[in-house]
Amino acid sequence: MRRRKRMLHDLERDMAEHIAMETQDNIDRGMSPEEAHYAAVRKFGNVARLTEQTREVWSFVRLEQLLQDFRYGARVLRKNAKLTAAVVLTLALGIGANTAVFSIVNAVLLKPLSFSHSEQLVQIWRTHGKGWTGSMSTSDLGDWQRQNSTFTGMAGYAARRLSLQNKSEARAFAAARVSTNFFDVMEAPLAQGRGFTADEATLGHEHVVVLGYDLWVQEFGSDPALVGRDIQISEENYTVIGIAPKGFHYPDRLTQLWVPLAPVGPELRRDAHDFLVIGRLRPGVTLEQATAQLDAISARMAKEYAEDQELGALLVPLKTAVVGWMRNGLLVAFIVVGFVFLIACAKVATLLLSRAAMRRREIAVRLALGASRGRLLTQFLAEGLLLAFLAAAPAFAATRWTVAGVISVSHNYLAVSNPAGVEPRVAGFTVGIAALAALLISLVVGWGSTRLGVSEVLKENSASVASGRSRIRAQRILVAVQIACAFLLLVGTGALVESFVHLSRIYPGFDSHQVLTMRLPVSAKKYSPRHPLSLLVEPAMARIAALPSVQAAGVITYLPMQAVGTTSDFRFSSHPASGQDESWAEVRAVSSGYYRALGIRLLRGRLITPSDSEDAPRVAVVNETFVRRYSPGQEIVGRQISMIDEPQWLTIVGVVEDARQAGRNQPSLPELDLPYQQSTWAYLTATMTLAVRTQKDPLAMTKDLRQAINTVDPAQAVYGITTMEQIVADYEGNRRFALWLLAIFSLLALVLASAGLFAQLSYAVAERTHEIGVRIALGARYRHILYMVLKQGALLAATGMAVGLIASLALLKVIRSLLFGIDPAQPAVIAAAGTALLLIALLACYAPARRAARVDPLTALRHE
């Protein structure tokens, strides 16, 4: 740097000296002093250019030029404030959409989970033969724990809801029963107090609780003396022994209460598969090694215990287990916003190309004066960078809101609690994508506007701006690209709408309109065979049914599309007619009003009634699929079955219509409904869902319902208040998410693309005013001119659409592979999208075409 300064310091003096010497030589040869000076200067050449070239030798010149380019670019942008605003806005949309999606991807997929050394954590699923995966029994887990050498620890847990009584109010919180080593396995050092000790896993010692940090702050004002005190949880006394570290939530992202897992009676059985398992791998142990060892242990267990036949283990990294299911939806989102980005860039490039047209003379003059094309391209790049970063700054600043927007559009599909916040990686991404935009745009604009015949442009009469051929071609290609992208997104949207409509036409087997639902955690302490649950349910249902706008009310373990997986094997008393090896069904406990509340129709026999009480004969109701599968062509009403390991026989008394438990696009599962009073399987009644059919807005009934329940049992908590329609919507969330994203962005794309077409044609017409004037003077009719311009636009649109069509078929294939249950694009959808786009394109062409046809030949010709 210093050397450069020294070297360049005397350059001007040296050059002046050189010219002086040459002048002297010329005078010596006999020229007049004036003549001698001019001759010397001529011979020396352009001092300014040569100085610049010399400076260039000393490297940093590039940077200086770049700064110069930026300053010049800024001046140009300020001068065209309107155009600049349009460009910046367009780019901000493109960059903003991508930044928002990326910041979610970053929060969900790229960042490690917040647990200590989370890469060592794995979810361990019990497998049964091939295909079936599920939760574990504590006894089996004990064997795995004792015999393995690949894990530093394994913990079982079961998520549930517990209600906390505080300040004379009961509120339900996400909670979990966890193995006593849970906090050790998670490596979560408690903020206050201690974790569980091993003896707290035995009955009589299990009334201790660890509170979530947020709960401690919000409900107990961070009282440090809380540890050691008793609190009321589900009407029992629990001693608070610790406060979980801040931000620690598992298994749910809202879990606030942890109690020790002290298995009671039936839970000790090897086939009581009630618990999920999380494990921490020893450093250096691979998933394969750990799986192999667990499988080996399981094989030994299978020989020893009849319940453990075909037992095996499936290990999934915790991260995959927690966020893996969001991956595909996010990928689709990324693809969609990628196209929006492309359109935005194309749009901006067209805008800038039209402006470059006005600068053709400037560019030609600079080329003629010896500016290299590279130098001009650098200048365009500087301008592009300025624009891109002007757009990126607000786009990045708005990330918090755009992310919130995308998440709200996702309808609970994206379970991200706090994805925003200024992350270096997100900032890096924004900078990267802005630079990419600048590069793309300036290359296209530079290519389109510096390929011109210098002498032709300079010879041109300044008034007539004949078209630069390569610029026009570039502009056309860009408009076609925009149309192609818009068409692509439009077809994608169309296909999604189509499959959505198709889906919503499928009758799910129940009527989801005007149904309010809420979850009721049932206190195991309070309700037992001696004090049955019917003491709560029957009077509460009676009160609710008596409310003026209530038509029916009932409870069930899980509503359709709320959850599946409470399955049991069973056998018929007579020999199974179906010949199926495995007879299994979704088992649910219901109350009598449930079917009416959901509008599920009875097909044969009778429904469950209030008289199917605790001491009445045991009965069950099955669904159509159950009949089709296990008793085809045979009357099922009156047959007797028993669930595995339950000695009592149940009589099937009725058949109801299929209510699709796993979504409308999924086949119905065989279902076996028991009266809740007769259910011996505690899990089925641990938490019940209340469903109430109302005559008015269901959510407006919330207060009345709560009141009715609390009149019967003041301590009964409720949570998860929502409508049946919302449950269905949430279940179909990922498709809805993709649909909304595509719809919003394809609309945006459509607007941008048609604006591009409009601008391109307007410009083309303006350029051809003279020619059109001549045509009209020579006798061309209004409609000829109109046709000529419309044809030009339609051709452009058609080219774009042809490309877009091919691309959209490929895109749909990708989306379909990522999102379950999207139908292939129907020709009708493509035709509809095509027609819509073509109409909009023609509309965009119409105004310029009319303007062209109205050209006054006299004015146009005189203009010359």
Report the interface residues with other proteins, using CB under 8 A: 7, 10-11, 13-15, 17-18, 20-22, 24-25, 43-47, 50-51, 53-54, 56-58, 367-368, 370, 372-373, 454-455
User: Which lies closer to other proteins via its Cβ, residue 46 or residue 835?
Assistant: 46
Q: How far apart are CA 120 and CA 280, in angstroms?
A: 5
Give the span between the Cα atoms of 190 and 733, in whole angstroms: 36
Burial of 99 (0-12, 13-18, 19+ CB in 10 A): buried
Q: Which is nearer to other proteins, 36 or 772 (CB)?
A: 36
**Hey, which residues does 208 pair with through a beta bridge?**
239
Q: How far is the CB of 64 from other proteins (least distance, A)?
A: 15
- Note whether 727 and 817 are within 8 A (CB): no
Q: Give the distance from CA 242 to its chain's centroid.
A: 36
Q: Which is nearer to other proteins, 56 or 614 (CB)?
A: 56
Cβ proximity to other proteins, 45 vs 617, nearer residue: 45
Nearer to other proteins, 47 or 795 (CB): 47
Residue 429, SS3?
Answer: helix
Report which residue type is found at 238: Y
**Phi and psi at residue 248, to the nearest 5°:** -90, 120
How far is the C-alpha of 659 from the C-alpha of 626, rounded, in Å? 12
What is the closest distance, in whole angstroms, from the C-beta atom of residue 473 to other proteins in the complex?
19
Closer residue to other proteins, CB minimum distance, 282 or 375: 375
State the Cα–Cα distance between residues 516 and 280, nearest whole angstrom.
Answer: 41
Tell me the closest approach of the beta carbon of residue 846 to other proteins, in angstroms. 41
Which residues contact residue 277 at a Cβ distance below 8 angstroms, ignoring those fewer than 6 apart? 123, 124, 125, 126, 135, 136, 141, 144, 154, 155, 156, 157
Locus of tokens 């195991």: 524
Report d(CA 709, CA 850) in Å as an integer: 70
Distance CA 172, CA 158 (A): 16
The least CB distance from residue 393 to other proteins, in Å, is 36
Residue 106 · residue 405 · CB < 8 Å: no
CB of 18 to other proteins, least distance (A): 5
| DSSP letter (8 states) at residue 370 | T
> How is residue 121 written in tokens?
């954590």
Q: How far is it, in rounded angstroms, from Cα 729 to Cα 737? A: 10
CB of 50 to other proteins, least distance (A): 4
Q: Which amino acid is at 459?
A: K
Q: Give the C-alpha separation, 372 to 520, whole Å.
A: 77
Which class for 589: exposed (0-12), middle (13-18), buried (19 or more C-beta within 10 A)?
buried
Answer yes or no: are the C-beta atoms of 400 and 96 closer than 8 Å.
no
What are the tokens at 491? 């077809």
- Taken as a whole, the chain contains a residue count of 864
Please identify, using beta-carbon distances, which residue of 112 and 374 lies nearer to other proteins: 374
CB of 5 to other proteins, least distance (A): 13
Identity of the residue, 16 or 843, whose beta carbon is nearer to other proteins in the bound complex: 16
In terms of CB distance, is 11 or 828 closer to other proteins? 11
For residue 63, the minimal CB distance to other proteins (Å) is 17
Nearest to 853 by CA among 758, 765, 759, 756: 765
CB 189 within 8 Å of CB 232: no
Q: Are 769 and 359 in contact (CB under 8 A)?
A: no
Min dist CB 21 to other proteins, Å, is: 4
CB of 24 to other proteins, least distance (A): 7
Closer CB to other proteins, 28 or 34, in the complex: 28
In terms of CB distance, is 454 or 712 closer to other proteins?
A: 454
Count of CB atoms situated within 10 Å of the CB of 427: 15
Work out the angle between the directed axes of helices 360-368 and 327-358 (0-180°, nearest 10): 70
Minimum Å gap between C-beta 15 and other proteins is 6
Q: How far is the CB of 430 from other proteins (least distance, A)?
A: 36
Would you say the C-alpha torsion 416, 417, 421, 424 has a positive or negative sign? negative
Report, in Å, the least distance between residue 45 CB and other proteins: 4
142 and 180 Cβ atoms separated by less than 8 Å: no
How near is the Cβ of 57 to other proteins at its closest, in Å? Answer: 4
Q: Whole-angstrom Cα distance, residue 209 to residue 219?
A: 15
Nearer to other proteins, 3 or 79 (CB): 3
